[in-house]
Structures are given as structure tokens and as C-alpha cells.
Amino acid sequence: MGKVFIKKLCIKTCHGVNDFEKKQPKRFVFSAEIDCDFYEAAKNDEISQTVNYSTACKLITAVATGNVFNLIETLACRCAQAILENFPSARSVRLRVDKPQAPVKAKFKTMSAEVFLRRERAYLSLGSSMGDRKAYLDFAVKELASTRGITVKKVSSYTESAPYGGVAKNMFLNACVAVDTYLPPRALLNEIHRIEEAGERSRSLRWDDRTLDIDIIFYGRQVICEDGLTVPHPEYSRRAFVLEPLKEIAPDFFCPLTGARIKDLVAPGG
């Protein structure tokens, strides 16, 4: 791994919550630290295999001058997103926006906002037991692929399984999906809930039949225990309908919690 730095890129543009800030260009200063793998670029002396800092500066400039945002937080996030979306070799970016001419009645050097985005590989489990089950899974994959910040990398075969949990009555159709995403875990979960709702998901009873169910099984190597979000999924290793499609697309992935390799796991009764 290596880093590419952009320091103190000055751009005159219009951003701010006040009306006059949206009309009168002021100086903004951008700095970025981009983690990337430029081994091949250094080996071949080939600019296309690294983060071209000239192109990165043009991307930041295009975002900064082609939009008018209320918040420099939004400006920083959009610039960081543009870098990750345009450079496959970039693994993460830390981007800072300084607003030295902010209209604040105080003595200061600059006002700043900084964002850090990292590209992670996440594994999701999909299930449906109502209506046209295949159509609902297809819909979920399509929606994931069209969501900004998510790139679908692999989709397992669709397999049928008996209902789990003693409540649902219908057979399920299941799959697993590997995605690359720079969305933080909670933001990814919010997008998943949006897709489930668009897929007519009802949450009236746990483990009941549903049109669409999407769970985060793994999010990179992270272990997360928050209200409404536990990763790795606490029950994945006991569910054959998760393990079998997961083995198809990620057999050599190691669970960050137990160290077990996915292809070596066997669900109870499996």
C-alpha cells in the first residue's frame, strides 16, 4: 500500500447556508490523503495504475464548482466519493475542506470539515418467501447495484430452503451477495432498509414470511455491536441457507470474530 497526497488545493467557489454565500465566490482549500495500492504502477512506471493526482484535482474542482452546497461537510463528502468512484486502486480517502473566509464574527484562521471514507467488502444475505420470490431477489440485487456507494461484485446461485424460526410457513428463496462499499455500516443498513421497504417488506412479526429480507453478514473485518446492528451476523453460522451461498462466493473468507474459514463451517443439521 502507499499514499497519494494533495495539499492545499485552492478553489474559488460558492458554498454556504447564507444566500450571499451562494452568489459570491470565496476561497476554499482542499487537502486529501488517499490510500492506494500503487505497487504495479511503481513496477511498470504507469500512471493509469495509480491515483493520478492531476485527475484527482480536476474531480475535486468539478465537484466544488459544479454544485452549491449549504455545508462544507457535504462538499467534503462528495469530493471524497468522487475520488473513490473514479480510482479503483484507491482503498480509502481522508479529505479536508478549509473555509478561511467563513462569515463568522470571531477571530479565526479557518473553519474546516474532514471526512474519511474506506472501501470495504461486505457480504449480504437475501431471502424471500412471498409472491414472485425470484423477482424480489432480482429487484434487491438491481437496487443494490444502482445505489451510490455500493458496487455489486458477486451474486450466488438462488437456492430454496425451509422456513427458519418456527413462524413462516412458505419455502424461502435465498442468495448471498458480495459488495464493495464506502458507505459506513449504519449508512449501508439504512440503504438496505430502504430497499426492503421498496420491496414491500412488512415487519409485523419476527421470522414471519416476507417479500424481501436483507441482512449484513460481514462488513470487512469489522466487529460491530450497536443498537440494531450486530456484525458478523450473530446467527449466520447456524443457518445453512446463509452458509451454502456464502461458500459459493467467499469460501476462503475468515470470520473476524471466530477466525473460522467459511468453507469449513457446517450449520447444525447440515
C-alpha cell at 254: 475468515
226 burial type by CB count under 10 A (0-12 exposed, 13-18 middle, 19+ buried): exposed
> CA-CA distance, 213 to 177, in Å (whole number)?
13
With a CB cutoff of 8 Å and minimum separation 6, the contacts of 190 are none
List active site positions.
99
With a CB cutoff of 8 Å and minimum separation 6, the contacts of 117 are 77, 80, 81, 84, 92, 93, 182
- Helix, strand, or coil (residue 252): coil
The most distant pair of C-alpha atoms in the chain lies apart, rounded to whole Å, by 69
> CA-CA distance, 219 to 122, in Å (whole number)?
4
Query: Would you say the C-alpha torsion 153, 158, 161, 166 has a positive or negative sign?
Result: positive
